[in-house]
C-alpha cells in the first residue's frame, strides 16, 4: 500500500500538480484513518478491502490535491492578472476626462486658445490629410504632454509614384528620426522646454521700432507636421492676428465628435484670398482648415481623418523599435550651419512662410521647426555665428563681401539647444 502511494505521488509529481506537497504527515493521517476502520472486518475480505482501500486512498488524495490545486491555480491566475495589469498600467496612460465647451466664444478667446493650445489638452492621437503648395501628406500621430511626455508621428508622401514614410519619435530625453526604407536613424538628446504661462494676444503679436511685425510663440513638442493641427501658432499668426480681418461664421459645428467654432476671413496672398478654420473649442486645436482662390475653389487644406483628444495613449509607442538587426545609427547631430541653397530642406509646413520671406529681401526672417532654424538673411548680410546662453540664442550678422552684397544668403542652423533666436548685427 505504501509503495502504491509512493508511485501515485511520483506520477502526480510529473504533472502540473508537482508544486503541491503531499507530505509524510498527510499519508500517515489517511492510513491511520483507514486502519481504524479495518479492525472489525474479517480476514477473508482483505483482498476486497485492499482494492477498496486503494480506491478510497486515491479518491482521498485526489480530493486533497484538487483542493490544493484549485487554490494554487487561483493564486497563479490572480498573480498573472496583477502582472498584466501592472504592465498595462505602466504603458497606457488614461488622462482625466474633459468637459466639452459649448458656450459662445469671442474672437479674443478663440485666438488666445489657438496660440496656447499646449495648455488645453493632455493627450491626442489622430490622422489628417494635408495639402499645401501642391504637396499631399498623410499625417498620423499620438502624443502625451504631461504624463511621461513623448510622442510619435508618421508623414507619408508620394515621390515618383512611390510612397515615402518619415517617422519622428521623442521621449525619455531623446529625439529620433527614423528611415525604415534605408534602415537608418538619427538620435540626439532632446531637452523639453519649460512650460511658460499663458501668452496674451498683446504679448504674442507686436510691432518693433522699425515697423516690422514680431511674433512670440509658446513651447511645443517636436511632433513634426502634426504641429500644424495640434499647435497652430504660425497659422494663427499669419491669418488671425488682426481681429478685424476675420469673423466667426458659426459658434458650434460638430466635426468628428468635436464641438468646433468656424472662422472665416480674407487674406492678401498671391495664391489665395480667403480662408476658413474649424477650431476645437475645448483645446484650441485646428481640426480643419481650407484656403480659397478668387473663384472660391480650394487651394490648400487640412482635412481630418480622425481626432481623439484626452484619450488613453500607449506610451511604449514613443520609443522606436531599433533592436532589429540591420538598423544603422547615423552620427548624432552637432551644432552647425549650412548656408546657400537650402530650399530642398524647407519642411512642408514652412514652405509658404519661406516663400513670403523671399518677397521681403531687405528683412531677416527666422523660422523654427523641429529644433531646426531656417534663416532668410537680409540682403547684404551673412550669418557669422550663433551663440547660445541659457537656452537663448543669438545669430550674429555681418556685412557680406561686395560680391555677395546683392544676394540673400539663407542659412539652416541645426543641433543648437535653444528655444529663442534673436538677431544681432
pLDDT digits (tens, 9 = 90+) for 63-96: 444 444 444 444 445 555 554 454 445 678 888 8
Q: How confident is the model at residue 276 (pLDDT cuts 50, 70, 90)?
A: very high
216 in a domain, yes or no? yes
Of 67, 91, 115, which residue is a domain's last? 91
Residues 198 and 147 in one domain: yes
Do 296 and 351 belong together in one domain? no
Q: How confident is the model at residue 332 (pLDDT cuts 50, 70, 90)?
A: low
Residue 398: inside a domain? yes
pLDDT at 68: 42
Q: Are residues 230 and 295 in the same domain?
A: yes
Structural domains counted in the chain = 3
CB 374 within 8 A of CB 409: no
> Do 285 and 154 belong to one domain?
yes
Residue 98 lies in a domain: no
Q: Note the pLDDT of residue 81.
A: 54
Residues 361-375, mean pLDDT to the nearest whole number: 90
Domain that holds residue 68: 2-91
CA angle 356, 386, 227 (to 5 degrees): 45
Average pLDDT score over residue span 182-189: 80
349 and 376 housed in the same domain: yes
Least confident span in 17-31, 192-206, 257-271, 381-395: 17-31
CATH number of the domain encompassing residue 267: 2.50.20.10
The answer to whether residue 366 is domain-embedded is: yes
Looking at residue 408, what is its pLDDT?
87
The reply to whether 211 and 290 lie within a common domain is yes
Q: Mark whether 65 and 153 lie in a shared domain.
A: no
Residues 71 and 141 in one domain: no
Tell whether 232 and 257 lie within a shared domain.
yes
- In this structure, is residue 252 part of a structural domain? yes
Which residue among 59, 91, 123 closes a domain? 91
Rounded-to-integer distance, Cα 414 and Cα 334, Å: 8
Highest averaged pLDDT of the listed ranges 30-44, 125-139, 190-204: 125-139
As given in the structure block, the three cell numbers for residue 377 are: 538673411
Average pLDDT over residues 329-335: 62
Which string of DSSP letters, residue by residue, matches 135-186? Answer: EEEEEEEEEESSSS-EEEEEEEEEETTEEEEEEEEEETTEEEEEETTTTEEE
Same domain, 138 and 243: yes
Measured CA to CA, the distance from residue 124 to residue 114 in angstroms comes to 16
Q: What are the tens digits of pLDDT across the range 103-148?
A: 999 999 999 999 999 999 999 999 999 998 778 999 999 999 998 9
Crossing angle, helix 233-240 and helix 107-114, to 10 degrees?
150
Evaluate whether residue 327 is within a structural domain. Answer: no
In a domain, 329, yes or no: no
State whether 166 and 302 are in the same domain. Answer: yes
CA distance 217 to 238: 12
* Residue 53 dihedral angles phi and psi, to the nearest 5°: -60, -45
Indicate whether 47 belongs to any domain. yes
Among 91, 119, 151, which residue terminates a domain?
A: 91
Same domain, yes or no, for 153 and 302?
A: yes
Amino acid at each position: 500500500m505504501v509503495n502504491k502511494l509512493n508511485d501515485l505521488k511520483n506520477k502526480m509529481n510529473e504533472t502540473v500538480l508537482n508544486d503541491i506537497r503531499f507530505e509524510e504527515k498527510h499519508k500517515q493521517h489517511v492510513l491511520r484513518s483507514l486502519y481504524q476502520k479495518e479492525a472489525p472486518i474479517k480476514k477473508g475480505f482483505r483482498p476486497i478491502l485492499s482494492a477498496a482501500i486503494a480506491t478510497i486512498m486515491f479518491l482521498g488524495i485526489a480530493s486533497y490535491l484538487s483542493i490544493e490545486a484549485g487554490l494554487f491555480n487561483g493564486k497563479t491566475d490572480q498573480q498573472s492578472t496583477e502582472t498584466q495589469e501592472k504592465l498595462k498600467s505602466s504603458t497606457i496612460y488614461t488622462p482625466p476626462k474633459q468637459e466639452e465647451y459649448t458656450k459662445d466664444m469671442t474672437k479674443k478667446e478663440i485666438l488666445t486658445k489657438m496660440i496656447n493650445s499646449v495648455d488645453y489638452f493632455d493627450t491626442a492621437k489622430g490622422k489628417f490629410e494635408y495639402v499645401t503648395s501642391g504637396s499631399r501628406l498623410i499625417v498620423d500621430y499620438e502624443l502625451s504632454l504631461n504624463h511621461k511626455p513623448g510622442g510619435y508621428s508618421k508623414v507619408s508622401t508620394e515621390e515618383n509614384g512611390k510612397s515615402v514614410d518619415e517617422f519622428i519619435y521623442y521621449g525619455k530625453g531623446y529625439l529620433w528620426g527614423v528611415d525604415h526604407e534605408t534602415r537608418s536613424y538619427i538620435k540626439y538628446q532632446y531637452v523639453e522646454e519649460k512650460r511658460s504661462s499663458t501668452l496674451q494676444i498683446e504679448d504674442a503679436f507686436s510691432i518693433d521700432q522699425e515697423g516690422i511685425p514680431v511674433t512670440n510663440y509658446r513651447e511645443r513638442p517636436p511632433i513634426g507636421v502634426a504641429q500644424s493641427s495640434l499647435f497652430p501658432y504660425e497659422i494663427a499668426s499669419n491669418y488671425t492676428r488682426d481681429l478685424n480681418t476675420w469673423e466667426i461664421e458659426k459658434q458650434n459645428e460638430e466635426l468628428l465628435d468635436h464641438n468646433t467654432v468656424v472662422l472665416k476671413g480674407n487674406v492678401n496672398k498671391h495664391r489665395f484670398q480667403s480662408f476658413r478654420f474649424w477650431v476645437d473649442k475645448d483645446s484650441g486645436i485646428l481640426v480643419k482648415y481650407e484656403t480659397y482662390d478668387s473663384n472660391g475653389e480650394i487651394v490648400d487644406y487640412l482635412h481630418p481623418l480622425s481626432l481623439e483628444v484626452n484619450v488613453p495613449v500607449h506610451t511604449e509607442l514613443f520609443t522606436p523599435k531599433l533592436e532589429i538587426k540591420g538598423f544603422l545609427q547615423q552620427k548624432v547631430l552637432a551644432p552647425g550651419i549650412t548656408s546657400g541653397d537650402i530650399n530642398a530642406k524647407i519642411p512642408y509646413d514652412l514652405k509658404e512662410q519661406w516663400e513670403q520671406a523671399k518677397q521681403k529681401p531687405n528683412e531677416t526672417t527666422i523660422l523654427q521647426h523641429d529644433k531646426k532654424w531656417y534663416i532668410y538673411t537680409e540682403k547684404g548680410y551673412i550669418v557669422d555665428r550663433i551663440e547660445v546662453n541659457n537656452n537663448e540664442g543669438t545669430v550674429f550678422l555681418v556685412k557680406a563681401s561686395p560680391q555677395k552684397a546683392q544676394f540673400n544668403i539663407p542659412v539652416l542652423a541645426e543641433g543648437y539647444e535653444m528655444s529663442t533666436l534673436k538677431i544681432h548685427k
